[in-house]
């Protein structure tokens, strides 16, 4: 058997190659008869949530309201505010500068460089 890491070209075992899914078929569907049985309790579940809106505990009321709103109107969209705190860096220029610095460090002075007999 070929290890997963060797098959996907990565060095870490247990990782997937870029663009490869560990579950390409997705989540398996529930059997139709099970879905129908669950859906037969929808009206009762809605009544329980509506009754929970009158609960003396505010946490229960909020949870019930959230469930009703999420199912009736959909969950609110997630918004991310991304603020860059540093100026973007030109990586190509940074790499070139680092290579030039390394090359300068490795140069030998001309007076101690080996001489070749002609």
Residue 64 lies in a domain: yes
11 in any annotated domain = no
Q: Does residue 113 lie in a domain region?
A: no
pTM: 0.43
C-alpha angle 62-46-48 in degrees, rounded to nearest 5: 65
Q: What is the pLDDT along the chain (118 residues), one digit of tens a residue?
A: 444 545 555 566 667 777 777 777 888 888 999 999 999 999 999 999 999 999 999 999 999 999 999 988 888 888 888 887 777 777 888 888 888 888 888 776 665 556 666 5
Distance separating the N- and C-terminal Cα atoms of the chain: 59
Range of the domain at 42: 31-76
Residue 61 covered by a domain: yes
Count structural domains, the chain: 1
Among 53, 54, 81, residue whose Cα is nearest residue 67: 53
In a domain? residue 46? yes
User: Which residues lie closer than 8 Å to 84 by C-beta, 6 or more apart?
Assistant: none
> Which positions ≥6 away from 60 have C-beta within 8 Å?
52
| Separation CA 49–CA 41 (nearest Å) | 13
């Amino acid at each position: 058997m070929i290890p997963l890491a060797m098959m996907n070209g990565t060095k870490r075992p247990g990782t997937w190659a870029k663009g490869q899914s560990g579950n390409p078929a997705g989540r398996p569907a529930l059997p139709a008869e099970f879905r129908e049985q669950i859906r037969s309790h929808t009206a009762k579940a809605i009544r329980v949530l509506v009754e929970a809106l009158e609960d003396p505990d505010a946490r229960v009321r909020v949870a019930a309201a959230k469930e009703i709103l999420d199912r009736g109107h959909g969950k609110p969209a997630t918004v991310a505010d991304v603020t860059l705190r540093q100026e973007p860096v030109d990586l190509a220029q940074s790499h070139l500068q680092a290579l030039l610095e390394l090359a300068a460090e490795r140069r030998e002075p001309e007076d101690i460089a080996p001489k070749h007999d002609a």
